[in-house]
């Protein structure tokens, strides 16, 4: 009986493969396939080699051929899934992992990988189920616990999220990503100091963990820190994360000061999001003869706002799958003259693309209330009310409000003031829980004591969680405020329902030190005046700009005492409250806060001025 050479050829090829002698391995696998074109092991192993040397499309074809011959081999499906993931073909990868899970029900990696993919796809409930199975199969896997916690947080189950993420940190205290994920969830429920601790832990473990560093910088905005200290932290982030970025080549943009400008806007929030609400009016009102608009969108799950914005601009680039280097290259290819960051240090930012200086002039605007820390960003757009501090970027101060609000078209009608129906004044804050600092809670406590018949409504994502609700109620009960006077509302099912909730309150009391922005505009649109306490940095001066824009500077307090006095005076003047309820929406329509053409002209004038300066600089 003749000797079969195929097993020996496969063994020799595998030895070459393990020695990273890929050309020799490929040659032998192909010799086997010449003799046996449907040999599943040769197809599979050749696929691994081709993926390793960067020929992933061919590898996928080989894995699929192997599977068509021997569909019961979990190895084939597993490697197919991994290659599809590397190509960001997440739907196909998820199907492959599901097949692995069917074939190997005791293998934890399949539901773990599937859960991570489902998070990327925004299918959070399915991700939770997959990761719960993975955690049951491998209960001491910190990475699984960390992803499980993230999926729970994204689905709104923040208390369960924190529990899972604490377990992840306990299992592996040296994993920076677990500290980062825990910090994000802690901040969401207002545990700002503890969140700061875990962001710092992540940075100690990995100094170039850019997301943790940015998370820390955003978290510092919620605390009453010294501005000099916060500025130094931003510069430290830039040093840690951009030291390996190569110097930018010279820009060859046409230095004609009067030509049509190519302006790019970069954001992951061009959707139903605060940034989307405020940038859309500007984009829609740009003068097409003066500005050619490009949007670099990192939106993972586009919605109607995304689609509406896309229709209003000249060029739309989908960028979430691009590396920072590739994004910067794309921007250079588009010959952008002025590039605008709309994120700062918020989630999904592309500051490391800006660090590569792909455009000759770079600005930051709208999405973040402070410097980026990057010297490669030249300017920050603000207004004459909001920024007394010095930043890494040169401040560009618009003459009127730097924000233009796009009201929700289907917003509910305003009703009569709440006190008419319930017989007492109701104060309210719909700001994120991280903004509810000890300082402002103390102010609200004093306010409730001074007006003993009044009530307070707090509404924010995170207040669906029982332990979070109990903790916030305790902030008031420890100051002898009856918990029956405090109403806690969680996230609404729709934006319409959210806005309808403003009809439950008479006076909005702004947070401090981090003012509301979207929440303030929403309140004003629903006829609810907003009392704000002015501070000395951007986060605590946004309310100054917004109230000034609608002609209500008398609602701006310059001290905590004055904040309480203004709120009490307005609470006692029910006739004025009723008048404001009836007139605020029309007042907004006629104000700078909704005057998109005026904002667009002011921004375009700014672009033209700084472009002209650049054109006159030495080439």
Give per-residue pLDDT as tens, 101-146.
999 999 999 999 999 999 988 899 999 999 999 999 999 999 999 9
Query: SS3 helix, strand, coil % of the chain, rounded to 5?
Result: 55, 10, 35
Two tokens, residue 281 = 């009016």
CA end-to-end span of the chain:
81
The pLDDT score that the predictor gives to residue 409 is: 84
Query: Average pLDDT in the 348-365 region?
Result: 98
Q: Check whether 225 has a pLDDT greater than 90.
A: no
Q: Check whether 217 has a pLDDT greater than 70.
A: yes
Query: Average pLDDT in the 281-296 region?
Result: 97
pTM as predicted: 0.91
Read off the pLDDT of residues 413-425 as tens digits, 9 standing for 90 and up: 998 888 988 899 9
Do 331 and 340 touch, CB atoms closer than 8 A? Answer: no
Q: Provide the H-helix boundaries in 313-385.
A: 324-333, 351-354
Do 284 and 310 touch, CB atoms closer than 8 A? Answer: no
Q: How far apart are CA 150 and CA 347, in angstroms?
A: 14
CA nearest neighbour of 515 among 327, 342, 344, 274: 274
The pLDDT score that the predictor gives to residue 321 is: 87
Q: Provide the H-helix boundaries in 225-365.
A: 227-242, 274-285, 304-312, 324-333, 351-354
What Rg, from alpha-carbon coordinates, does the chain have?
Answer: 28
Q: How far apart are CA 185 and CA 482, in angstroms?
A: 29
Give, as one character, the DSSP assignment of residue 2: P
Do 545 and 383 touch, CB atoms closer than 8 A? Answer: yes
Residue with tokens 């000890």: 438
Q: How far apart are CA 508 and CA 431, in angstroms?
A: 10
Q: Which of 173-182, 387-396, 594-603 has the lowest mean pLDDT?
A: 387-396
Structure-derived torsion over alpha carbons of residues 58, 63, 69, 74, reported in degrees to the nearest 10: 180
Two tokens, residue 52 = 């390793």
Residue with tokens 């590739």: 326
Q: Check whether 50 has a pLDDT greater than 70.
A: yes
Do 296 and 266 touch, CB atoms closer than 8 A? Answer: yes
Residue length of the chain: 619
**Average pLDDT score, the chain:** 94
Query: Average pLDDT in the 30-42 region?
Result: 92
The pLDDT score that the predictor gives to residue 391 is: 56
Q: How many CA atoms lie within 13 A of 236 on its CB side?
A: 16
Residue with tokens 């608009």: 293
Q: How far apart are CA 79 and CA 97, in angstroms?
A: 9
Read off the pLDDT of residues 245-281 as tens digits, 9 standing for 90 and up: 999 999 999 999 999 999 999 999 999 999 999 999 9
Burial of 613 (0-12, 13-18, 19+ CB in 10 A): exposed
CB under 8 Å to 71, separation ≥6 — which residues?
none
Three-class SS state of 338: strand
**3-state helix/strand/coil string of 522-550:** HHHHCCCCEEEECCCCHHHCHHHHHHHHC
Give the max Cα distance, the chain.
Answer: 106
Q: What is the helix (H) or strand (E) element at residue 381, kind and residue range? A: strand 379-383
The pLDDT score that the predictor gives to residue 156 is: 87
Residue with tokens 């973040």: 368
Residue with tokens 């960067």: 54
Read off the pLDDT of residues 109-118 as tens digits, 9 standing for 90 and up: 999 999 999 9
The helix-helix angle for 192-205 and 210-220 (nearest 10°) equals 150
Q: What is the helix (H) or strand (E) element at residue 261, kind and residue range? A: strand 261-267
Q: How many CA atoms lie within 13 A of 548 on its CB side?
A: 17
User: C-alpha distances in angstroms, 183 versus 153, 196, 212, 214, 311?
Assistant: 11, 7, 9, 12, 37
Q: How far apart are CA 345 and CA 268, in angstroms?
A: 12
Read off the pLDDT of residues 376-411 as tens digits, 9 standing for 90 and up: 999 999 998 998 655 557 899 999 999 999 998 889
Q: Check whether 79 has a pLDDT greater than 60.
A: yes
Read off the pLDDT of residues 296-344 as tens digits, 9 standing for 90 and up: 999 998 999 999 999 999 999 999 989 999 999 999 999 999 999 999 9
The pLDDT score that the predictor gives to residue 1 is: 45
Q: Check whether 553 has a pLDDT greater than 90.
A: yes
Residue with tokens 């773990």: 112
CA nearest neighbour of 577 among 406, 414, 412: 414
CA nearest neighbour of 526 among 434, 428, 435, 382: 428
Query: Average pLDDT in the 339-352 region?
Result: 97
The pLDDT score that the predictor gives to residue 2 is: 57
CA nearest neighbour of 112 among 147, 164, 78, 158: 147
Residue 551 vs residue 384, higher pLDDT: 551
The pLDDT score that the predictor gives to residue 617 is: 78
CB under 8 Å to 452, separation ≥6 — which residues?
none
Read off the pLDDT of residues 437-462 as tens digits, 9 standing for 90 and up: 999 999 999 999 999 999 999 999 99
Query: Average pLDDT in the 15-44 region?
Result: 92
């Amino acid at each position: 009986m003749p000797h079969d050479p195929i097993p020996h050829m496969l063994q020799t090829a595998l030895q070459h493969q393990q020695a990273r002698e890929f050309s020799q391995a490929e040659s032998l696998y192909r010799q086997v396939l010449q003799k046996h074109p449907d040999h599943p092991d040769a197809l599979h192993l050749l696929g691994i080699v081709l993926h390793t040397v960067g020929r992933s499309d061919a590898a996928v074809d080989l894995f699929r051929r192997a599977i068509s011959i021997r569909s019961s081999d979990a190895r084939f499906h597993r490697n197919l899934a991994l290659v599809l993931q590397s190509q960001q073909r997440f739907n196909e990868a998820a199907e492959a992992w599901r097949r692995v899970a069917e074939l190997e029900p005791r293998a934890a990696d399949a539901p773990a990988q599937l859960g991570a993919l489902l998070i990327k796809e925004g299918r959070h409930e399915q991700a939770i189920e997959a990761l719960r199975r993975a955690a049951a199969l491998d209960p001491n896997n910190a990475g699984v616990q960390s992803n499980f916690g993230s999926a729970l947080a994204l689905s709104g189950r923040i208390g369960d999220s924190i529990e899972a993420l604490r377990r992840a940190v306990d299992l592996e205290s040296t994993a920076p990503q677990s500290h980062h994920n825990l910090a994000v969830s802690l901040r969401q429920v207002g545990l700002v100091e503890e969140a700061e601790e875990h962001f710092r832990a992540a940075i100690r473990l990995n100094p170039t963990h850019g997301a943790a560093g940015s998370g820390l910088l955003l978290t510092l905005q919620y605390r009453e820190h010294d501005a000099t200290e916060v500025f130094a932290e931003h510069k430290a982030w830039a040093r840690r994360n951009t030291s390996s970025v190569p110097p930018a080549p010279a820009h060859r943009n046409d230095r004609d000061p009067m030509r049509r400008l190519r302006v790019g806007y970069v954001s992951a929030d061009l959707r139903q999001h605060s940034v989307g609400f405020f940038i859309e009016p500007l984009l829609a009102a740009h003068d097409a003869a003066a500005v050619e608009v490009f949007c670099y969108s990192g939106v993972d799950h586009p919605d109607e706002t995304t689609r509406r914005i896309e229709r209003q601009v000249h060029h739309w680039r989908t960028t979430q799958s691009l590396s920072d280097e590739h994004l910067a290259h794309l921007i250079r290819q588009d010959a952008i003259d002025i590039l605008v960051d709309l994120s700062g240090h918020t989630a999904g930012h592309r500051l490391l693309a800006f660090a590569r200086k792909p455009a000759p002039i770079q600005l930051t605007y709208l999405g973040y209330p402070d410097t980026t820390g990057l010297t490669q960003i030249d300017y920050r757009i603000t207004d004459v009310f909001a920024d007394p501090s010095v930043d890494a970027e040169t401040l560009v101060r618009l003459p009127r409000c730097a924000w233009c609000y796009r009201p929700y078209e289907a917003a509910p009608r305003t009703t009569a003031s709440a006190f008419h129906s319930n017989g007492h004044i109701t104060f309210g804050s719909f700001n994120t829980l991280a903004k509810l600092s000890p300082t402002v809670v103390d102010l609200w406590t004093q306010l409730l004591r001074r007006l003993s018949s009044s009530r307070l409504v707090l509404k924010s994502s995170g207040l669906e969680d029982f332990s979070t609700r109990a903790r916030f109620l305790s902030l008031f009960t420890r100051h002898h405020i009856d918990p029956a006077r405090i109403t806690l509302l969680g996230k609404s099912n729709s934006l319409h329902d959210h806005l309808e909730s403003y009809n439950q309150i008479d006076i909005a009391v702004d947070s401090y030190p981090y003012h509301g922005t979207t929440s303030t505009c929403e309140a004003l649109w629903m006829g609810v005046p907003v009392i704000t306490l002015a501070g000395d940095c951007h986060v605590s001066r946004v309310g100054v700009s917004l109230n000034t824009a609608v002609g209500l500077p008398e609602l701006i307090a310059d001290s905590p005492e004055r904040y309480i006095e203004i709120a009490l005076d307005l609470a006692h003047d029910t006739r004025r409250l009723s008048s404001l309820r009836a007139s605020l929406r029309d007042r907004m329509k006629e104000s700078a806060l909704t005057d998109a053409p005026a904002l667009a002209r002011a921004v375009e004038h700014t672009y033209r001025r700084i472009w002209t300066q650049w054109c006159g600089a030495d080439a």
